[in-house]
Amino acid sequence: MPPVVLVLLAVAAVFHTLWNVLLKTSEDPLATSARGVTWGLAVATPFAAAVWWLSGTPALPPAAWALAGASAVVELFYFVFLSAAYRRGELSIVYLIARGTAPLLAAAVGLLVLGERLEPAAAAGVGLLLVGIWLARSPARFGPAVGFALLTGVAIASYTAIDRLGVLAAPPWLYGWVLWPWRRPGRAILALVVDGVGGRPIRVRALLFRSGAAC
């Protein structure tokens, strides 16, 4: 793997950890997620538009549009499950389970559904990840957040598998940008979901306006 790829992965890991710390420490993780998606769209659009124009305004195949929509719907459930988990458990536990189980499930989907094959080194890495999750903390101490953290991991693995097909159907940068506007109308879908699957309806006005609905 080229060194620049390792550097980018390390930087992405740092930012992702900081994002999860922000969600955990916020008063309303679900509303914070909504604002994050809005700002992500606002920041990414100018760069994506410039690259799109310089690349000759390529069109996105219908299959890629459908995959992006499916990925965005799955990610809505990811936001709900992750928010519910952080309201019920510690960052160290929720992040460990959600992000640790997701690659294991994604590897299983790749092997069983997409027909991919793992090299011996990759298989060893998956095994070490499983052992690390088990040794990091006893399952008996996971508490009530474990169910939602596991559901978060399932959601991550699901939209990862969908996106794997998406980047094969279209230029990865273009497919990645299309995911952002698909997420924005998801506020209306989130309004139909019970907040944290715990009985409190989502405040529609809070999600639409506190998240910066001017996009």
Which tens digits make up the pLDDT trace of 96-116? Answer: 888 878 777 877 777 777 677
> What mean pLDDT, rounded, does the chain reach?
75
d(CA 63, CA 165): 9
Domain range list for the chain: 3-210
The terminus-to-terminus CA distance of the chain in angstroms comes to: 38
d(CA 39, CA 121): 38
Which tens digits make up the pLDDT trace of 20-54? Answer: 888 888 877 777 777 777 777 778 788 888 888 98
